[in-house]
Structure 1
Amino acid sequence: MTGLTQLPYLLRAARGEVLDRPPVWMMRQAGRYMKEYRDLRQKYPSFRERSENVDLALEISLQPFRAFQPDGVILFSDILTPLPGLGIPFDIIESKGPIIDPPIRTAEQVKNLLPFNPAECVPFVGEILQTLRKEVGNKATVLGFVGAPWTLAAYAIEGKSSKDYTIIKSMAFSEPAILHELLGKIADAIAVYVRYQIDAGAQVVQMFDSWAGHLSPQDYDIFALPYQQRVVQQVKATHPDTPMILYINGSAGLLERMAQSGVDIVSLDWTVDMAEARKRLGPNVGVQGNIDPCALFGSKDFIRQRILDTIRKAGNRGHILNLGHGIIANTPEENAAYFFETAKQADQLMARA
Structure 2
Amino acid sequence: MGISSNQPLLLRAARGEVVDRPPVWMMRQAGRYMKAYRDLREKYPSFRERSEIPEVAIEVSLQPWKAFQPDGVILFSDIVTPLPGLGIDMDIAEGKGPIIHSPIRTLEQVNNLHDFDPEASLPFIKTILQSLRQEVGNQSTVLGFVGAPWTLAAYAVEGKGSKTYSVIKNMAFSEPAILHQLLSKFADAIANYARYQIDCGAQVVQLFDSWAGQLSPQDYDTFALPYQRQVFEQVKATHPDTPLIVLVSGSAGVLERMGQSGADIVQVDWSVDMADARQRLGKQMKVQGNLDPGVLFGSKEFIRDRIYDTVKKAGNWGHILNLGHGVLPTTPEENVAFFFETAKELKLAAV
TM-score (norm 1): 0.98
Name the residue aligned to 1:103: 103
Deviations 1:45-69 (A, max 9, x none): 0000000000000000000000000
Matched, 1:252 2:252: yes
Matched, 1:341 2:351: no
Could you tell me how far apart the structure 2 residues matched to 1:151 and 1:269 are?
17
Shift of 1:5: 1.0
Name the residue aligned to 2:222: 222
Task: Within 5 Å, give how 1:298-317 maps onto structure 2.
Answer: 298-317=298-317
Deviations 1:289-316 (A, max 9, x none): 0000000000000000000110011011
Name the residue aligned to 1:236: 236
Task: Within 5 Å, give how 1:86-101 maps onto structure 2.
Answer: 86-101=86-101
Could you tell me how far apart the structure 2 residues matched to 1:5 and 1:311 are?
22
Could you tell me how far apart the structure 1 residues matched to 2:149 and 2:171 are?
15
Name the residue aligned to 1:39: 39
Task: Within 5 Å, give how 1:1-353 maps onto structure 2.
Answer: 3-347=3-347, 351=350
Deviations 1:271-299 (A, max 9, x none): 00000000110111100000000000000
Shift of 1:96: 2.1
What is the RMSD computed on CA atoms of the aligned residues?
Answer: 1.1
Shift of 1:212: 0.1
SS of aligned partner of 2:321:
strand
Could you tell me how far apart the structure 2 residues matched to 1:196 and 1:95 are?
29
Could you tell me how far apart the structure 2 residues matched to 1:297 and 1:95 are?
21
Could you tell me how far apart the structure 1 residues matched to 2:96 and 2:267 are?
26
Could you tell me how far apart the structure 2 residues matched to 1:173 and 1:221 are?
14
Q: Structure 2: give runs of 5+ residues left out of the alignment.
A: none
* Matching residue's letter, 2:255: L
Moved over 2 A (4+): none
Shift of 1:2: 6.0
SS of aligned partner of 1:254:
helix
Could you tell me how far apart the structure 1 residues matched to 2:290 and 2:2 are?
32
* Matching residue's letter, 2:161: S
Shift of 1:43: 1.0
Could you tell me how far apart the structure 2 residues matched to 1:163 and 1:15 are?
36
TM-score (norm 2): 0.99
Could you tell me how far apart the structure 2 residues matched to 1:10 and 1:20 are?
11
Q: Structure 1: give runs of 5+ residues left out of the alignment.
A: none
SS of aligned partner of 2:272:
coil
Deviations 1:329-350 (A, max 9, x none): 01000000000000000118x7
SS of aligned partner of 1:32:
coil
